[in-house]
Amino acid sequence: MIPLAKKATPAAIAVLRQATAIWPKRMKASDGLLPSKAHVNQNPNSDHNSGHAVDLTHDPIAGVNCSVIYSELQKDERVEYLIFKGKIWSKIKGEHIYTGPNKHNKHLHISIKKQCANDTSSWFPWMPEPSPINKVKAKVSKVKAKKKEPTSPKEN
Ligand SMILES: [Zn+2]
């Protein structure tokens, strides 16, 4: 059994933080870093136990499309394996049917390589960099659009 970490690794925490910066309105219901005690008993060898795994909530309405992220992250050297919608992928084994009890329909599971635990570079490099100024601008233009032209094509 892997000893329980007190804190998730910086790389795992960065996934959730960066996702929230890019998609501020995303749902977090299925987010996860460290496991609950019940989870540990069920999965004594889970990468969550050592802080090297993260679950990202699938919320395509808010922009967090985990099908896309599952494909894109296959290019990321930090990824040990990914699980989403009944499939598991790793660089060594490729894609297979995931036979675990939880099919992972509501979240993408990302296991991070041990040697990459402190690498917090962008997990979503295909997305434009979020900047605080852009976020403020986006809010202002939304308010304006609501008042004057409710069907601005840019908002969709
Ligand atoms: Zn997980």
Q: Tens digits of per-residue pLDDT, 87-138?
A: 999 999 999 999 988 899 999 999 999 999 999 999 999 999 886 655 555 5
Return the higher-pLDDT residue of 38 and 64. Answer: 64
Confidence at residue 135, expressed as pLDDT on a 0 to 100 scale: 56
Q: What are phi and psi of 142, to 5 degrees?
A: -65, -45
> Which DSSP category does 65 fall into?
-
Q: Is 5 helix (H, G, I), strand (E, B) or coil?
A: coil
Q: Find, among 91, 114, 107, 137, the residue nearest to 28 by Cα.
A: 107
Query: Separation of 110 CA from ligand 1 center, angstroms?
Result: 7
Confidence at residue 150, expressed as pLDDT on a 0 to 100 scale: 47
* pTM given for the model: 0.81
Query: Separation of 39 CA from ligand 1 center, angstroms?
Result: 10
Strands (DSSP E) contained in the chain are 53-57, 79-84, 87-90, 94-97, 107-112
Q: What angle do CA 119, 20, 146 make, to 5 degrees?
A: 150
Query: Separation of 141 CA from ligand 1 center, angstroms?
Result: 37
Tell me the pLDDT band of 139, cut-offs 50, 70 and 90.
low
Query: Separation of 148 CA from ligand 1 center, angstroms?
Result: 44
Query: Separation of 55 CA from ligand 1 center, angstroms?
Result: 5
For the residues 29-55, what does the mean pLDDT come to? 86
Query: Separation of 82 CA from ligand 1 center, angstroms?
Result: 9
Query: Separation of 109 CA from ligand 1 center, angstroms?
Result: 4
pLDDT single digits (tens) 43-81: 888 899 999 999 999 999 999 999 999 999 999 999 999
Q: How far apart are CA 50 and CA 67, in angstroms?
A: 26
Confidence at residue 149, expressed as pLDDT on a 0 to 100 scale: 47
Query: Separation of 53 CA from ligand 1 center, angstroms?
Result: 6
Sheet-wide strand order for 79-84: 53-57, 107-112, 79-84, 87-90, 94-97
